[in-house]
Chain A
Amino acid sequence: MFTFEELKRSFLVSIWFVFLTFPIMVIRVDSIEKTVQWRWMNMVYVAIGSFILSFVFRYMMQRKEMKSEDNGDGDKKDKTGRSFIHRWLADPKYRNAILGSLLAAAIIFPHVFSTYQTSIMTTALMYVVLGLGLNIVVGLAGLLDLGYVAFYAVGAYTYALLYHFFGVGFWVALPIGGLLAALFGILLGIPVLRLRGDYLAIVTLGFGEIIRLVMENWGAFSQGPSGVSNIPRPSFFGIDMSLDTALVYTYYLMILLVIFTIFFVNRLQDSRLGRAWIALREDEIACQAMGIDKMKTKLVAFSLGAFWAGIVGVIFAAKTTFISPRSFTFIESAIILSIVVLGGMGSIIGVIFGALILILLPEYLRALSEYRMLAFGAILVCMMVFRPQGIIGSIRRTYTYQNRKKADGEVS
């Protein structure tokens, strides 16, 4: 495989990237001190890195092309060769064992690991729920929402401000935050869901930024850039909790929310509504011709996604006890999108894995954490180019008939 031709190509790619990255990677100047720093080692890294990566790139492209060529064969493979996770979960014996042990692990986690670990895990779980919520919008209904963080912010600010102005507690704020976010979703959705996919993406991005900028500038309402602090942690029947206990409590709360969300999304995607979402993602016009109300169906997906973001927003405010507009930048939306894309659009297990990988990995590999956003960007590109279905793609459900007699034969 390492023919001369290949080596030459990689060599040329390598030269090109050395040239391309030269000013940014090699030179660093200080315009005040009037000094120039030449970092020649970076050039070597780029040369070697791009040489190797160009092989990888070509290899991956070839593999992808080969796959798309023997398509007829490919679907047979799909049936038997679907990822082992799907096969395990399809078998009830394995499924119960896996889910049971996962649940047990989740329950004992805070007792085995430190508070710090629990706190990180809680954050990761929040992203699991955010990912699952965005998955309804992007993965199932195919609506690219780049302003998802706006709904998250609505939830967080709802709790923060309700407490600040009226002393409303966590448990009251939780549903209000969710519902208010859903309401924002509907209000924004009605005008913008008519738009074509890419325009929708940009409008939601704009909306997300507007919400953040308003929070930043409307000091009287939101306390501006300095944010809202001293937000109380979740309460438990009014019992006073130490910081550690409160954290563990929040963790369990998140576990419950994750379970509920999985249950919710799973049931929805296997329903009449879920099928309509997926159909809408595939072909809007055909969908309408099948009698599906496009706007209504989209609006439900959009506002349900927003609802989840709102709920997590409230929990986020309660967990960190301090929020400011800086927590709700576009980066946040991009992270959640990366989770969904990496995991696999429309796939629940995929999104869970995606969230755990993307949030936990940088936490534990501290040395790499500054490369986090760089990696997220690269992940989005690589996933789209090489594996658009994500690490664990969704599979279509197949139905079986027990030849039961038609349920009383009525058509409602």
Chain B
Amino acid sequence: MQQPILQVSGLTMDFGGIRALNNLDLDVNEGEIVALIGPNGAGKTTFFNCVTGIYAPTKGEVDLYHKEKNRVVSLLGMKPNQVTEQGLARTFQNIRLFSQMTVLENVMIGRHCRTKAFILGALLRDKKTMQEEDEIIQTSHEILTKIGLQRYENEIAENLPYGAQRRLEIARALATEPVLLLLDEPAAGMNPQETIELVNLIQEIASEGQSILLIEHDMKLVMSLSDRIFVMDYGKKIAQGTPEEIRNNPAVIKAYLGEEVDA
């Protein structure tokens, strides 16, 4: 079996007396789209926050396998920016764009951790810095073209339509060259048309070999996109498997009691 690029084992997170995550295991293989689902309050976003270093988990292991460098790094105890540097990029459930910056600049920020220029470079504008700056602009431009936002490039991010803002978050995360892309409810609040476009977009990104872990409520989207699904409830993993297996899993149906699981 191939080496999973993300391996989370025994992840536990306590907030005071509340156990938000309970001994959670999860893995993502290269090139896979994996979904993490569960009812509201199941701890999905907390899981993302623990993995990306925003919260420090109480217990557990988070390992990222970097194929090009052929080594495994433990993400535990790293600051969020270090996690991103190691190759884990994320989007946010409630959009967190740099709202007063242009769309292109938003993506350019994503290139930050892959570039180096500092005070001296900024002042002298030497050849190396300018090349790097060109590279930032060029790559960002390409990513925006791929995501289909190039026509908004010089707009202020805040003025974008809602769906485009969500896509911009993805573009920004992609700019960091992630080994694994974490999407936190990318379709939240989208209309059906936008959701279809989003599915196409995610498939396109995945077809280029990008591994993706996503949290989503839209079952249709999850079932049609994912290679594997993990189901959480009350901070615990209650099921895992292919969409087919999950669809028929009694524990999952029980957790979603009242909610339809159709696709």
Contact = CB atoms under 8 A, between A and B. Distances in A.
Interface of A: 71-72, 75, 264, 267-268, 270-276, 278-279, 282-283, 285-294, 300, 304, 396-399, 401, 404, 406-408, 410-412
Interface string B42-74: 000000000010100000000000000000000
B159 A273 contact: no
Please name the 9 residue pairs, one residue from A and one from B, whose CB atoms are nearest each other, closest first. A291-B113, A271-B122, A291-B84, A288-B80, A286-B96, A282-B98, A407-B131, A398-B154, A279-B98
A282 B131 contact: no
A287 B119 contact: no
A285 B90 CA distance: 11
Contacts of B97: 282-283, 286
Interface string B99-119: 111101100111011111111
B176 A278 contact: no
B167 interface: no
A291 B88 CA distance: 10
Interface in B129-158: 129, 131-139, 141, 153-156
Contacts, number: 148
B104 A279 contact: no
* Most B CB within 10 A of own CB, among A268, A279, A282, A289: A289
Given A282-B99, A294-B79, A399-B153, 13 more contacts: A75-B159, A289-B52, A289-B84, A290-B113, A291-B89, A291-B113, A292-B81, A292-B113, A293-B79, A300-B119, A397-B105, A398-B104, A408-B131
B135 A407 contact: yes
A291 B81 CA distance: 4
B98 A289 contact: no
A92 B89 CA distance: 40
Contacts of B133: 271-272
A288 B110 contact: no
B236 interface: no
A61 B116 CA distance: 45
Nearest to A405: B138
Contact of B104 (A75, A273, A399): A399
Given A272-B117, A275-B109, A292-B113, A396 B156 contact: yes
A411 B176 CA distance: 12
B121 interface: yes
Given A272-B112, A278-B98, A291-B112, A401 B138 contact: yes
